[in-house]
């Protein structure tokens, strides 16, 4: 006698798409984002004497070193901009990008303990890192504005309407750091030595970015390659907008935007794929 065929009442299937950012779910966990941002901000200054003052000291000392080494000794041009303001602009932008990229790249390895115990959208962690670094950027940008106002009063800078694009430039840097950071975060779950490569690569990448020099000093193949560096359009636009110098064109910024969006999509796909199985390899 044949037994009646059983039918499933419920079917559990994986509906996780590689392109799914789960932004609605991330928004529901916005309080957790706030807690992570607060944790990152507070932990940066635990057992320190000067606390948030380091946000000012770091760019000031770095700018002075660049001014001496690259301005006085190497005698690199600044397209007629005040050298102190030129280097401070580059340092302010670079600190935000490098800090966000380095922090995001440790998403899986640095939070494996939390990820293994409780569920929440994993994207919350890299987003909180980008936001916490944005707070640091705001403080250092205030320092830049103070120096900028001084040189503006002296008539040595010539800002233009491109200053309105500043929020867009910051968002592009955040998305670039987020995309590349998620790629490295996913890869380092399997290849641990990539962490050391990333640290060296970030330091080297700074010299491929117009932080300490203007693009106008480059020629030939180096100038062409600079146009395909996603940060070139951002840095040149920022300096052109606030200081009035630089070899900037909207096409350059457009190239940066396209490359960054492509890297962000790649980062999301790899991040979502590794998210399912990273606990087996981390």
The pLDDT of residue 224? 85
Q: Is residue 41 part of a domain?
A: no
Q: Is residue 15 part of a domain?
A: no
Q: Is residue 37 part of a domain?
A: no
The pLDDT of residue 12? 46
**Residue 79 zone, left/alpha/beta (φ > 0; ψ -120 to 50; rest):** left
pLDDT confidence band for 47 (50 / 70 / 90): low
Q: Is residue 36 part of a domain?
A: no
d(CA 109, CA 274): 12
What pLDDT digit, counting tens, does each position of 180-230 carry?
A: 988 888 887 777 777 778 888 888 999 999 999 988 888 888 888 888 899
CB 242 within 8 A of CB 148: yes
Q: Is residue 4 part of a domain?
A: no
d(CA 245, CA 238): 9
DSSP assignment string, the chain: -PPPPP--S--------TT---HHHHHHTHHHHHHHHHHHHHHTTTT-SSGGGHHHHHHHHHHHHHIIIIIIIS----TTS-HHHHHHHHHHHHHHHHHHHHHHTTHHHHTHHHHTT----TTHHHHHHHHHHHHHHHHHHHHHHHHHHHHHHTT-----GGGGGHHHHHHHHHHHHHHHHHHHHHHTTT-TTHHHHHHHHHHHHHHTTTTSS-GGG--HHHHHHHHTSHHHHHHHHHHHHHTS-S---HHHHHHHHHHHHHHHHHHHHHHHHHHTTGGGT-
Burial class of residue 186 (count of CB atoms within 10 Å of its CB; 0-12, 13-18, 19+): buried
What pLDDT digit, counting tens, does each position of 72-84 carry?
A: 888 888 888 999 9
Stated pTM of the model: 0.85
d(CA 236, CA 209): 10
What pLDDT digit, counting tens, does each position of 154-185 carry?
A: 989 999 999 999 999 999 999 999 999 888 88
57: number of Cβ within 10 Å? 11
Q: Is a pLDDT exceeding 90 seen at residue 88?
A: yes
Q: What are phi and psi of 8, to 5 degrees?
A: -75, 135
What pLDDT digit, counting tens, does each position of 257-279 carry?
A: 999 999 999 988 888 777 766 54
Tell me the residue range of the domain where 79 lies: 23-31+52-280
Q: Is residue 82 part of a domain?
A: yes
Q: Is residue 243 part of a domain?
A: yes
The pLDDT of residue 167? 95
Domain count, the chain: 1
Q: Is residue 1 part of a domain?
A: no
The pLDDT of residue 185? 84
């Amino acid at each position: 006698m044949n037994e009646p065929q059983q039918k499933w009442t419920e079917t559990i299937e994986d509906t996780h798409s590689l392109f799914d950012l789960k932004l609605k779910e991330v928004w529901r966990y916005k309080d957790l984002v706030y807690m992570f941002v607060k944790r990152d901000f507070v932990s940066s200054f635990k057992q320190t004497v000067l606390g948030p003052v380091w946000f000012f000291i770091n760019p000031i000392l770095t700018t002075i070193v660049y001014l001496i080494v690259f301005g006085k000794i190497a005698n690199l041009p600044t397209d007629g901009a005040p050298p102190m303001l030129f280097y401070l602009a580059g340092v302010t932008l670079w600190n935000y990008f490098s800090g966000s990229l380095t922090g995001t790249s440790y998403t899986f390895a640095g939070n494996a303990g939390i990820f293994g115990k409780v569920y929440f959208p994993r994207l919350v962690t890299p987003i909180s890192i980008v936001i916490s670094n944005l707070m640091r950027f705001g403080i250092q940008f205030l320092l830049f504005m103070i120096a900028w106002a001084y040189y503006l009063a002296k008539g040595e800078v010539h800002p233009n309407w491109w200053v309105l694009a500043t929020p867009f430039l910051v968002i592009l840097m955040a998305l670039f750091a987020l995309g590349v950071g998620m790629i490295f975060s996913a890869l380092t779950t399997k290849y641990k030595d990539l962490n050391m490569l990333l640290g060296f690569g970030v330091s080297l990448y700074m010299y491929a970015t117009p932080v300490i020099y203007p693009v106008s000093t480059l020629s030939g193949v180096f100038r062409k390659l600079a146009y395909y560096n996603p940060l070139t359009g951002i840095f040149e636009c920022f300096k052109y907008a606030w200081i009035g110098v630089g070899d900037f064109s909207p096409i350059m910024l457009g190239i940066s935007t396209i490359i960054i969006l492509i890297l962000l999509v790649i980062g999301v796909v790899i991040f979502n794929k590794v998210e399912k199985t990273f606990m087996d390899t981390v």
